[in-house]
Amino acid sequence: MGGARYDVVHWAHAVTLYAPSPPARVLGIDPGLTRCGLGVVDGVPGRPPGLVAVGVIRTVAGDDISARLLAIEEEIERWLTEYRPDTVAVERVFSQRNVRTVMGTAQAGAVAIVCAARRGLPVALHTPSEVKAAVTGNGRADKEQVTTMVMRLLRMPDRPRPADAADALALAICHLWRDTATQRRAAVARSGLGTEAAGRAARAGVRSGGDT
């Protein structure tokens, strides 16, 4: 059975003592058989996200599928052990004309989900358009725009290569921001402030709207 070659870049990340809450850590995974992107990002509400690590798992196309999936599983497990994320974000597989590519992506994605589930970690699935919209503000942004914004948001001096690495970081950022927004809405709902605000608006004759 053939092995896998791993390309990993580590980045130092300092957590400020004045952060309002402990950082949430997300492992973003851009699944693929030949190249599987991995990116770990930390973040706290109201502060820019911080880069922890980024890398790519590579497997040889001619190797047996079982060996390739095993190699991907072993490396994802190593990342989970080393970086201890709170959540794993995986790109949701979408329909493509190339059925073979879709199958490989789905298989690698399933391996990532199983690895997270084995450790009791929550898994989030995001579509490419959701990721693009979260990072660039445009759900139809191209890869160049996504990479540029990832570099700017994470203050990266060098371009993450290949594109799978940038996509993994974009997935992590997307989930970090979406999850933070969801938690804030839930906290407001639990506190009753949302209902109180809606009541004030109604009394003032203003129609209240909500997030979609």
The burial of 100, by beta-carbon neighbours within 10 Å (0-12 exposed, 13-18 middle, 19 or more buried), is given as exposed
Kindly name the residue from 42, 75, 91, 167 that is annotated as catalytic: 91
Rg over alpha carbons for the chain, rounded to the nearest Å, is 19
- Say how many C-beta atoms besides its own lie within 10 A of residue 84's C-beta: 12
Whether 82 is a known active-site residue: answer: no
Whether 7 is a known active-site residue: answer: no
Whether 86 is a known active-site residue: answer: no
- Say how many C-beta atoms besides its own lie within 10 A of residue 149's C-beta: 20
Kindly name the residue from 30, 42, 167, 179 that is annotated as catalytic: 30
- The residue behind tokens 């930390």 is 42
Kindly name the residue from 42, 64, 158, 164 that is annotated as catalytic: 164
Q: Which residues are catalytic?
A: 30, 91, 164
